[in-house]
Structure 1
Amino acid sequence: MRHDLCIEATVPFKNQEGNQCPRSVEEVAIRSIILHTVAAVGYKVDSKLLVDWLKDQQIWECVSPLEKTWFATKEITDEDRSPLCWRVEAEWTLLWAISKVQSLGLPTQTCDTATLVDDIMPTLGDPIAAFIASSKLRSPGALLVEDDRVYNLHCYARQAFKTNTVPDDLIYDVLVQRHYAFEWLHSRDEWDDIRLDT
């Protein structure tokens, strides 16, 4: 996939400056945990166990109103599960932002869910304090250049859909979730209120 954009796994940002991220590292870490549980609902993990864990860790109030409806829904259709499962890609993006993932690369493959579950995220029921404490927000420059790349790729992808020239290797849902995560990261909007402009 080439659009005169950097196609390296890690975008260079040596001399790039960016505005300070309005989100704290703790906010980003907590949001990644919440997205982890939302995706788990999509993969048919018992909602009650997830909600109990979020409440026990005292972050239930950080769950968005729409997410709370998904946790409360008894019967979720396969069609409705799909968007929940894709939230793992937004989670992966935020994990990159707090230095838990080395690089995002291009949106041509899905995230490594085995590594995510086994090596990165706290286990369901375990305390989250150590995960949050070990998180480190990347520099404003690093966040800016990756955000710009994702935004520009999304713009190009939307144009490509109009001319039926979408690259074969693009996974559009990955790109959308990354864009959503970056929009939230660089705004003060609530998670449910994010809009993707391209």
Structure 2
Amino acid sequence: MSSQMLRKSRSEKELMRINVPINEHLPYVEAERDVLIRSRVEIINRIIPLAITAAKALEAPDEYLAEAVEEFQANNLFTDEERQFMESATTNEQDKINYSWKLESIWVLLWSVGLVPELNSPAKTCDVDLLFDVVLNSSKDDLINKASVKQKSIILDELDFIYRAHWSVRNAQLHGTDIPAALDEGVVYERHYAFNWLVHYMDQEWEEISTDT
């Protein structure tokens, strides 16, 4: 049995164990030989602007944000959309919600380079205090030096699982049924988003990422 088949089988068994419906006809995720994981520098350079925009979304003081931008030399790390959000004197509630949810993407990226110990249950949001402590109380050099990208097989295992979990969320939304209790729809979406970026899914950059199921 190929590693792709084994990965699919393991994910399906775990989803069934936690009472999440599966779709046996979903395809495999890409094989390890066909996947290029982003480098630790790329990952840290994505974590930093995400953390700063999330801090703004959570209404951190302007002085604190300005210091963080300067300390991390983050101006050249923001996407155009993130820069627009950071430069806005007033922000709407939906933008705040969207950027605060990116904490769940950050958690995946931190996990992928060993800066947080584990991915918690997809039913639970991440440890926000720990996240900000890890990122914003370090320098960029510290983060890069501490970062070590996990093995490709481990990242693909988690991608496969969240991809199949995301199908279950979308299936419930489509049919107007309850989302499985073992899944939080926001957590699942953001994890899938971050993993697809990590593996260069369809060669898309951050603001373009699709989360096909």
Query: Which TM bucket (shorter chain)?
Result: 0.7 to 0.9
* Larger-gyration structure (1/2): 2
Give identity over the alignment, percent.
26
Whole-Å Cα distance in 1 between the matches of residues 72 and 178 of structure 2?
Answer: 46
Deviation above 6 Å: which 4+ runs of structure 1?
none
Deviation at 1:64, TM superposition (A): 0.6
Which stretch shows the higher mean deviation, 186-195 or 55-64? 55-64
Aligned residues: 185
Change (3 A) 1:78 1:165: closer
Quote the Cα distance in structure 1 between the aligned partners of 2:32 and 2:62: 39
Give the CA deviation at 1:30: 1.7
Cα RMSD, aligned residues only: 2.2
Picking from 181, 188, 199, the partner of 1:186 is 199
Partner AA of 1:6 in structure 2: E
Alignment of 1:70-149 (within 5 A): 70-118=85-133, 120-123=134-137, 127-149=139-161
Gaps in structure 1 of 5+ consecutive residues = 9-16
Structure 1 position 83, deviation (Å): 0.8
TM-score of the superposed pair, with normalisation by structure 2: 0.78
For 1:38-64, what per-residue CA distance to the aligned partner results, in whole angstroms no more than 9, with x for missing partners?
110110124564355334433422211
Equivalent position SS for 1:121:
helix
The answer to whether residue 46 in structure 2 is matched with residue 31 in structure 1 is yes
Tell whether the 8 Å contact from 1:47 to 1:72 is kept in structure 2 after alignment.
no
* Aligned residues of 1:95 and 1:101 also touching (Cα < 8 A): yes
Q: Which of 72-81 and 46-55 deviates more?
A: 46-55
Q: Which has the higher contact order (CA 8 A, sep 6+)?
A: 1
Give 1:157 shift. Answer: 1.3
Shift of 1:5: 3.9
